[in-house]
Amino acid sequence: MITLENVYYKYEPEGIDALRGVSLQIREGEHLALIGPNGCGKTTLIRHLNSLLLPASGKVTIGGFDTKDAGHQADIRSLVGMVFQNPDNQIVGMTVEEDVAFGPENLRLPTVEIKKRVAGALARVGISGLACRNIENLSGGEKRLVAIAGVLAMQPRYIALDEPTAFLDPAAAKRVLDIVDKLHSEGVGIIHITHNMAEASLTQRIVVMNEGRIYLDGTPQEIFGKIGLLQKIGMQLPQITELLIKLEESGFPARTDIVNMEDALEEILFLIRKNKD
């Protein structure tokens, strides 16, 4: 369990309040999307989850370990893996396997175990064939998968992803999201920062942040049902939900709490059939 209790954080020397009393609990195996306008504190929040940042006041505990306890830093960083927004700034090694091995090497594991973990992590994200490839010769999507594999090699129970599909073409983005889904189905907890509402709608829970505070917290249906509150902070709805709202405004009695493609298709077909009758 990840617990944040009344966490405050301020960036010095600018004096910007990035987090203002954030309290949040994330269960093991949960798939959570963290959304909100730019500068609302999403990245600051996830950097507290593997003790890259420590709260100015309040408390963050990961699997029972207080992030302020320096003696448990290695445990915390093994429990929560962090995938940064730009993989180029995260990849340390010159080849894929060298980079994936970086975390286990830091954990001072024996060579045999490192090799096992590297092979396992590469297989989990489906890039075993790239093991010896030079990082500079990889595509953006492949680099993102290398970054995820590098985190997986540390066998974390949670992975925090900072906009994992940013700057990717649709095919590469889908590949990354499929891997994230697979990891979630394997029991890894996912904390996923995104500006893409369709991506957020695929998770179990959405936490909306605004001005360093938790603004809304609930299931995708609950969150996207609060249209007025979302629009107030400049957030948009998933396109599919917006389409159904437009249909409703045009006089069709469509449900507007639908957030995914399958349910929307079913609803539209139902409306068409009903209209024919």
Partner 1 sequence: MYHTGSFINGPSLIYNLDPRIKLAVTICLSIFILWLKPLIVVIVGIALFCAALANGITLRTIGQAIKPLLFFIVLIFLVHLLFNEGEALFNIPYIGISISYTGLQHGFFVVWRFLCLIMAAILLTLTTTPSQMIAAIKYFLRPLKLLRVPIDDIAVMIMLALRLMPILLTEKERVEIAQKARGYNLRQSGYIIRIKAFFSLILTVLTGIFRRANELALAMEARNYQRGERTSLVELKLKSSDYVFITFLSFFFVIFVALNSHFG
Binding-site ranges for partner 1 (CB under 8 A): 47, 50, 52, 73-74, 77-78, 81-82, 84, 86, 88-95, 97-98, 101-111, 114-115, 118, 132-136, 150-151, 154
Query: Nearest approach, Cβ of 181 to partner 1 (angstroms)?
Result: 23
Q: Which is nearer to partner 1, 115 or 226 (CB)?
A: 115
Query: Nearest approach, Cβ of 127 to partner 1 (angstroms)?
Result: 15
Cα(270)–Cα(274) distance, integer angstroms:
6
Query: Nearest approach, Cβ of 160 to partner 1 (angstroms)?
Result: 9
Cα(62)–Cα(110) distance, integer angstroms:
26
Q: Which is nearer to partner 1, 104 or 238 (CB)?
A: 104
Cα(127)–Cα(205) distance, integer angstroms:
29
Query: Nearest approach, Cβ of 132 to partner 1 (angstroms)?
Result: 5
Q: Which is nearer to partner 1, 107 or 229 (CB)?
A: 107
Q: Which is nearer to partner 1, 86 or 219 (CB)?
A: 86
The SS3 call for residue 210 is strand
Q: Which is nearer to partner 1, 107 or 198 (CB)?
A: 107
CA end-to-end distance (rounded Å), the chain: 52
Query: Nearest approach, Cβ of 27 to partner 1 (angstroms)?
Result: 22
Name the pairing type of β-strands 205-210 and 57-62.
Answer: unpaired
Alpha helices in the chain (DSSP H): 42-48, 73-79, 96-106, 111-124, 140-152, 170-185, 197-201, 220-224, 227-232, 239-249, 261-276
